[in-house]
Chains A and B, each alone.
Chain A
Amino acid sequence: KAGVTQTPRYLIKTRGQQVTLSCSPISGHRSVSWYQQTPGQGLQFLFEYFSETQRNKGNFPGRFSGRQFSNSRSEMNVSTLELGDSALYLCASSSGGGSYNEQFFGPGTRLTVL
């Protein structure tokens, strides 16, 4: 099976702009979760989508949003970018339930906000 793919791998934006990141999960997986990783805060959960519905949400401002399509691919959007949004954004793919619920991560999108 192909792994989790994320595009783009690198992005440079300026403050105030918006950005859209994409994640394609492993075939057959219905859950996609997004995480932000920074040196100061570590790995923080953003949100999870399961069968096109947001199932969980972390403590991030409304500038961070996401969606999931019928083919399970997911996008996250960050509007009005701030310097503090510079981070590695990781998405995770899983079947979505049960005690064997393993999450597999993509390579990440490195976002730099100038």
Chain B
Amino acid sequence: SQQGEEDPQALSIQEGENATMNCSYKTSINNLQWYRQNSGRGLVHLILIRSNEREKHSGRLRVTLDTSKKSSSLLITASRAADTASYFCATLKETSGSRLTFGEGTQLTVNP
């Protein structure tokens, strides 16, 4: 079963705009990871944020984590048509080895 929920389920924006996706989860975590998936292909690892971190940046990506609210957000700035994809958050619990629990994903469409 999915641990978390992602919001919104679908997002459509214009090139150059920012896109924000949110993820909520239910249990204590070790880290939270964001992935991108293009149309039925494999998952591309975007960024990992540990439970004791509040914010991380990688290029045009900014991730925040609020463990008190059990939520995370992914911000993509200055979006491009190539950013069109599904985005998933995945949580790793402290006692689960490498087992990830995924959210349902956000389908992002960036219109040229």
Please report A residues at the B interface, Cβ cutoff 8 Å. 4, 6, 31, 33, 35, 42-43, 45, 48, 50, 55-56, 58, 88, 90, 92, 94, 96-97, 99-108, 110
Contact = CB atoms under 8 A, between A and B. Distances in A.
B18 interface: no
Task: For the complex of A and B, list the 5 residue pairs with the smallest distance between their C-beta atoms, beginning with the closest.
Answer: A43-B102, A105-B43, A107-B42, A31-B98, A99-B50
Interface of B: 2, 30-31, 33, 35, 40-45, 48, 50-52, 88, 90, 92, 96-102, 104-105
Given A43-B88, A105-B42, A107-B41, A96 B98 contact: yes
A92 B98 CA distance: 9
Nearest to B105: A42
A103 B88 contact: no
Contacts of B35: 105
A33 B51 contact: no
Nearest to A32: B98
A57 B88 CA distance: 21
The residue in B50, B97, B98 that gathers the most chain A C-beta atoms within 10 A of its C-beta is: B98
B9 to A, nearest CB: 12
B33 A102 contact: yes
The residue in B45, B51, B97 that gathers the most chain A C-beta atoms within 10 A of its C-beta is: B97
Given A100-B48, A105-B43, 18 more contacts: A4-B42, A31-B97, A33-B100, A42-B105, A43-B90, A45-B99, A45-B101, A58-B99, A94-B98, A97-B97, A99-B31, A101-B30, A101-B92, A102-B33, A103-B33, A103-B45, A105-B42, A110-B40
Contacts of A100: 31, 48, 50
A48 B42 CA distance: 18
Contacts of A96: 97-98
